[in-house]
Amino acid sequence: MENFTQYLDPAFLVKTLGMFGVVAIIFAESGLFFGFFLPGDSLLFTAGLLASQGYIDFWPLLILCAVAAIAGDSVGYAFGRKVGPKLFAREDSRFFKKAYLERTRIFYERHGKKTIILARFVPIVRTFAPILAGVGQMHYRTFISYNIIGGLGWTIGLLSLGYVLGKTVPNIDRYLLPIIFLIVILSMIPNVVEYIRSRRSPEA
């Protein structure tokens, strides 16, 4: 388990896999239903920070990650549109829980089509939102519009944040782990809020 955790460490992933490894992970986490456990937010931030230190070229990284995020969501949408309701009948496994779909469905009920944008910043929901958009037969022109806005905002925002901090804060690599921990905590807040709301709603 300790070795597996190491493989999900953002700094380890960036330094080991390089730019194309980061791009592949962003693509997988954005639209492949088994990619929900990948560290998208912290990986983007860390990649931006390490780009500021010369490990990766920033602009190609920015462009490719944005394309990967948008393309990943589009693949997820196509998968959901093709599979449809069968996805809800799928049995739980190590890499899939029906609770993830339910969490995303509740998020959709709260935020509607904006979920495609907002979900970019919410782990797990980020992976299943485009799939459920396909299941729900959302018009593709509507989907791709929100997809592009969300994909650009997510990748550019987190990569640029890491890059700027890396350029302006001396020895920021010393604080990388606490910063990543903070990003993970912040990204989980929407999940916690939605969970609390869903627990209270039957009593309302």
List, for residues 148-189, the tens digit of each pLDDT value: 999 999 999 999 999 999 999 888 877 778 888 888 787 777
- Using left for φ > 0, alpha for ψ between -120 and 50, and beta otherwise, residue 171 falls in left
DSSP E strands in the chain: the ranges are none
Q: Is the pLDDT of residue 4 over 50?
A: no
Determine the pLDDT at residue 110: 79
Q: Is residue 162 within a helix (H) or strand (E), and if so which, with residue range? A: helix 140-168
Q: How many domains does the chain have?
A: 1
Range of the domain at 171: 2-203
d(CA 171, CA 127): 33
Q: Is the pLDDT of residue 39 over 70?
A: yes
SS3 category, 110: helix
100 or 80: which carries more pLDDT confidence?
80
Confidence of residue 67 (pLDDT cuts 50, 70, 90): very high
